[in-house]
Amino acid sequence: MRVIDFKDEGPIAKRRLADLPDRVVEGDPHHETQMRFTSTDGTLLAGTWTSTPGKWIAFADRDEFCVLLTGHVKLISEEGTEQEFRKGDSFLIPNGFRGFWHVLETTTKHFVIRDYTAG
């Protein structure tokens, strides 16, 4: 077992979020994800993600820690509370959060996810 270095190169998966039409609320966001680590049971994930602008329903049933490397995003709860984050900010989206991701400027982040639907 070795320490995972996020500088290591690896394959990049590309996805147009419009391929999940029930999620997109605004725009045509495109995502690139470079997975850096997946636990053997699939419940712990870490990687680097980039998104072009757009707004979509946030994925649920997970805890997600993020560090923004570039960009500007807004997280909006179902109740309407808005929180903005920019390059250099870090935050945790707790399991149970319901709401929206709104990428205002193309954004790249490092993330760690505990997925409660896997395993």
- At 37-46, the pLDDT tens digits run 999 999 999 9
**What pLDDT is recorded for position 1?**
72
Cα-only R_g, the chain = 14
Whole-model pTM: value is 0.92
Q: What is the mean pLDDT of the chain?
A: 94
Kindly report, residue by residue over 47-72, the tens digit of the pLDDT: 999 999 999 999 889 999 999 999 99
Per-residue pLDDT, 119: 67
Give the whole-angstrom CA distance, residue 64 versus residue 87.
17
**Cα distance between residue 34 and residue 60, in whole Å:** 20
Write down all domains in the chain, each with its CATH number in brackets: 13-115 (2.60.120.10)
